[in-house]
Amino acid sequence: MRLLILGTLGGQLGAATKIAMEKGAKVAHANSVEQGLSELRQGHGADLVMCDVALDIGLLVRSLATERICTPVVACGVGTDARRAVDAIRAGAKEYLPLPPDPELIAAVLAAVADESHQLIFEDQATASVIAMADQIAPSEASILITGESGTGKEILARYVHRRSARADKPFISVNCAAIPENLLESELFGHEKGAFTGAIARRLGKFEEANGGTLLLDEISEMDARCRQSSCAPFRSARSTAWAGASPSRSISASSRPRTAISRRP
């Protein structure tokens, strides 16, 4: 879980950072919206941006959308000022967290974003067989396809494989292909150069480069456009011999709630 905090959080920056780190988050900090955007463009990705309401949250959300950076924003402010909370939500923030920070509340937000479990608890033999297979595959360099209905824990299993692999100390990057508009997905995966489209004011690294020797999960890959899906598979075909755009070769894990036969065609 990677957290980017923008601003001073009304003097509560240290407390919020400490709580987030205690919950397992990797925390980065920027003083302004502009510095935060620069961090994201350079490949210092974040699963969540926590932004001080004293900053221009509307500008942040609009800039993320314009530059095709799909990262949720949570607003933070001292006290329970209802007007500020409403303004932040209207500006595009997903949630509003009152400060001083409440450990349980921050933990809940991080858990909702990361949805990560470090320990698998199961009883049935079918799950035991799946875990045994995951243990066998994890040390290899093989690409993996995980299928199963929504809510069955495909991302949890993907994270388990990552933690059991030789790439455990490298990034785990998850992309929900179904949640990102089709016209933004290619930029999200491959990044873009300055001037590539209206609003591309700077070069931005894609998820392939962010993974950088770690694991890239393409969740709900069956919802991806066939052309984009073919492009996304290309870097992995030559992963052993070629690094993508200067980054170290990464491992691919794909997940789908559709049967394997449905992945080769659009719904």
51 CB contacts (<8 Å, ≥6 apart)?
5, 6, 7, 33, 36, 57, 60, 73, 74, 75, 76, 93
Query: In the prediction, which pLDDT does 202 show?
Result: 82
CB 182 within 8 A of CB 225: yes
Cα–Cα distance for residue pair 211/214, rounded to 1 Å: 5
Nearest to 221 by CA among 204, 233, 206, 212: 233
Within 8 A by CB and 6+ apart from 34, the residues are none
Asked whether the beta carbons of 139 and 168 are under 8 A apart, the reply is no
Q: What is the pLDDT of residue 147?
A: 92
Residues 6+ apart with CB under 8 A from 191: 203, 204, 205, 206, 208, 209, 245
Separation between Cα atoms, residue 71 and residue 136, nearest integer Å: 33
The pLDDT of residue 210 is: 85
Listed in sequence order, the DSSP H helices in the chain are 13-22, 33-41, 57-66, 82-90, 103-114, 125-137, 154-163, 182-190, 207-211, 226-237
Q: What whole-number distance in Å separates Cα of residue 126 and Cα of residue 73?
A: 38
Q: What is the pLDDT of residue 267?
A: 46
The whole-model pTM stands at 0.55
Token duo for residue 46:
């974040």
Q: Let me know: does 253 contact 161? Beta carbons within 8 Å.
A: yes
pLDDT in tens, the chain (267 residues): 789 999 988 788 888 888 888 887 889 999 999 999 998 888 777 889 999 998 999 999 999 988 878 788 999 988 767 888 889 999 999 889 888 888 888 888 877 765 544 567 778 899 999 999 999 999 998 889 999 988 888 988 998 999 899 998 888 888 888 888 877 888 888 888 888 877 788 888 888 888 888 999 999 888 887 767 666 665 555 544 334 455 677 788 888 888 766 555 544
| Per-residue pLDDT, 255 | 87
**To which residue do tokens 């995980």 refer?**
146
| Residues facing 175 on adjacent strands | 218
CA 8/CA 184 separation, integer angstroms: 31
